[in-house]
């Protein structure tokens, strides 16, 4: 069982990336080994998808040694468009 929780990941990404919104969902049936994260940050402005993912991976470098995290990363403007289409 992983020592990492959704709240832990949300707090760390919020702090490291000055995120406006972060949602981490434990997709591992409670063992904490697999997460899906959505991150909205101004730090993503002007970045390619790969560059955004690298920022998230760098922020979670230690954690990613023990867990897997799929991710969606958006600028605030991109996130607003996503929200409008839901």
3-state secondary structure the chain: CCCCCHHHHHHHHHHHHCCCEEEEEECCCCCCCEEEEEEECHHHCCCCHHHHHHHHHHHCCCHHHCCEEEEEEECHHHHHHHHHCC
Per-domain residue ranges of the chain: 6-76
Give dist(CA 36, CA 73) in Å, integer. Answer: 11
- The pLDDT tens digits for 7-41 are 999 999 999 999 999 999 999 987 779 999 999 99
- Give the Cα separation of 39 and 75 in Å (integer): 8
pLDDT tens track for 35-75? 999 999 999 999 999 999 999 999 999 999 999 999 999 99
Q: What class is the 6-76 domain? A: alpha beta
The whole model's pTM is what?
0.92
């Amino acid at each position: 069982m992983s020592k990492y929780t959704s709240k832990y990941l949300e707090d760390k990404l919020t702090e490291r990336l000055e995120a406006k919104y972060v949602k981490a969902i434990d997709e591992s049936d409670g063992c904490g080994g697999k997460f899906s994260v959505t991150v909205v940050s101004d730090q993503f402005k002007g970045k390619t998808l790969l560059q955004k993912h690298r920022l998230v991976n760098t922020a979670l470098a230690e954690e990613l040694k023990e867990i897997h995290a799929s991710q969606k990363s958006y600028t605030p403007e991109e996130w607003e468009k996503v929200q409008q289409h839901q």
